[in-house]
Amino acid sequence: MQLTILEPARPPEGRRLPAWLKRPLPTGDVLLQTRKIVAASGVATVCEEAQCPNLGECWSHRHATFMILGDRCTRRCHFCAVSTARPEPVKPDEPARLAEAVRRLGLRHVVITAVARDDLPDEGAGHFAECVRRIRDTSPECAIEVLPADFHARDELLAVLVDAGPDIYNHNQETTERLSPKIRPQARYRRTLDVLRNVKERRPAMWTKSGLMVGLGESREELTTTMRDLRSAGVDILTVGQYLRPSEDHAPVERYYPPSEFDDIAAEARAMGFASVASGPFVRSSYNAAEVYEAISRQRRA
């Protein structure tokens, strides 16, 4: 198939971002309170570790995405700011500390992600499942969204986490099949699809979700194919956001998509049958996750 590589919109000079990617500096009492509770828990957040541009907005609404199993990853993806290093031993009290932070924050929806723990025999699946159970016990009204690594698509490990009963199983595809080996060399495009398909087949009523970054050099045709692959794997919820380079050591931004193009992508994805699509420059996998979940749950009940 002939691919049309879109003409890169010339990135602005130096490190300056286009006007639509500027955000106000975070301030406010709620944000400070969130920071305090998160710090007291001793659990890392991907908001901080990945230098997310939405931190001010999300934390002002008491929404943080917790990152369990430490803050050192066994993989090195070229888009991600989380550090790659020998991980620390798993802390058995982390599920209790996480559950307490969720309770103190009064969350109605929590997103839990984790570094990839390829060093552990169960890749962290058991610890992840324990976090889900602890939160269920202490905050029964809170919706739980998990965003784990791929567990190498091992059936028995996926079962451990799915059987803990999260409300949403999120696993990001991140980029297209062609760019995958370059951007996330230790992951596999097809394996990600296998994970998502496995979860949906195992528990059809569980929402599945996946996210893509744009601006890494993909074509629109490739993006269409990727979205179609995700839909074919049974994915219900799709997020699409602009890739931003965390540092000079990471993959460069090839193109900044204007907001109108994100709207076009959303329209295309909705036509493919996703139950929910969030597409915009600042959309991240966990951005507005509570609102997205509540909207699709209402849709299902109607």
Q: Which residues bind ligand SF4 (CB under 6 A)?
A: 46-47, 52, 54-55, 58, 63-65, 284, 286-287
Give the C-alpha separation, 235 to 276, whole Å. Answer: 10
CA 135 to chain centre: 19
292 Cβ neighbours under 8 A, 6+ residues apart: 237, 276, 278
Measured from the CB atom, the residue of 63 and 200 that comes closer to ligand SF4 is: 63
> Do the beta carbons of residue 296 and residue 276 sit within 8 Å?
yes
**Minimum gap (Å) between residue 43 Cβ and ligand SF4:** 13
Measured from the CB atom, the residue of 46 and 164 that comes closer to ligand SF4 is: 46
DSSP assignment, residue 252?
P
Measured from the CB atom, the residue of 52 and 162 that comes closer to ligand SF4 is: 52
The full DSSP string for 20-36 is: GG--PPP--HHHHHHHH
> Do the beta carbons of residue 94 and residue 127 sit within 8 Å?
yes
Structure tokens at 245: 């380079």
Measured from the CB atom, the residue of 67 and 230 that comes closer to ligand SF4 is: 67
**Minimum gap (Å) between residue 244 Cβ and ligand SF4:** 11
User: Could you report how far apart the first and last alpha carbons of the chain are, in Å?
Assistant: 41
Measured from the CB atom, the residue of 52 and 114 that comes closer to ligand SF4 is: 52
**Minimum gap (Å) between residue 234 Cβ and ligand SF4:** 24
**Minimum gap (Å) between residue 103 Cβ and ligand SF4:** 18
How many C-beta atoms lie closer than 10 Å to residue 263's C-beta? 12
Give the C-alpha separation, 161 to 128, whole Å. Answer: 7
Measured from the CB atom, the residue of 217 and 241 that comes closer to ligand SF4 is: 241
**Minimum gap (Å) between residue 263 Cβ and ligand SF4:** 19
**Minimum gap (Å) between residue 46 Cβ and ligand SF4:** 5
**Minimum gap (Å) between residue 8 Cβ and ligand SF4:** 26
Q: In what order do the strands lie in the sheet with 109-114?
A: 44-45, 65-68, 109-114, 143-147, 168-170, 207-214, 237-242, 276-280
**What is the Cα Rg of the chain in Å?**
18
Measured from the CB atom, the residue of 192 and 239 that comes closer to ligand SF4 is: 239
Measured from the CB atom, the residue of 274 and 287 that comes closer to ligand SF4 is: 287
**Minimum gap (Å) between residue 50 Cβ and ligand SF4:** 6
Give the C-alpha separation, 100 to 95, whole Å. Answer: 9
Structure tokens at 32: 């400070």
Interaxial angle between packed helices 155-163 and 189-202, expressed in degrees from 0 to 180 and rounded to the nearest 10? 50
